[in-house]
Amino acid sequence: MVTYCRGVIDEDLIFKALADGTRRLILDALHTQSGQSLGALEEIVADRTEMSRFGVAKHLKVLEAADLVIVQRHGRQKLHYLNSVPIRAIYDRWIDKYTEPQVRALTVLKQKAETHHD
């Protein structure tokens, strides 16, 4: 099976990419501000997890391969943008219009349970 060939993304790459906390932190950073360079993301990540530049770069590569992050070169910089299309696909996979109201109801029930117990 092809791992990455312009548009045809293995779903496994997407979920595996999301499975790491550092990568989710990067996505959060890009959600807050789009178009950040590796250096900028480096700083943000290093702020809470002691991680080298190489670690961040490696995570970004995983996110790129999963198409969760889109890159755009700008001179010697590489700007990163969050692509939320695959995330929407996750939602669509297990939640459809008919079950959506049930989900809302469940959320309320669970919140009640949380406030009472413990």
Q: Does 4 bind a copy of itself (CB under 8 A)?
A: no
Query: Which one of DNA, a copy of itself, none interacts with residue 59, CB within 5 to 8 A by kind?
Result: DNA
What is the maximum span of the chain, computed from C-alpha positions, in angstroms?
56
- Pairwise CA distance, residues 95 & 85, whole Å: 15
Instruction: Name the residue among 1, 16, 33 with its Cα closest to residue 67.
Output: 16
Q: Does 58 bind a copy of itself (CB under 8 A)?
A: no
- Given a contact cutoff of 8 angstroms between Cβ atoms, the answer to whether 17 and 66 are in contact is yes
- Given a contact cutoff of 8 angstroms between Cβ atoms, the answer to whether 67 and 9 are in contact is yes
Q: Does 54 bind DNA (CB under 7 A)?
A: yes
Q: Does 33 bind a copy of itself (CB under 8 A)?
A: no
Q: Does 3 bind DNA (CB under 7 A)?
A: no
Among residues 72 and 84, whose Cβ is nearest to a copy of itself?
84
- Pairwise CA distance, residues 83 & 71, whole Å: 10
- Using CB under 8 A, list all residues that contact a copy of itself: 5-8, 11-12, 15-16, 18-21, 24, 27-28, 31, 82-85, 87-88, 90-91, 93-95, 99, 103, 106-107, 110-111, 113-114, 117-118
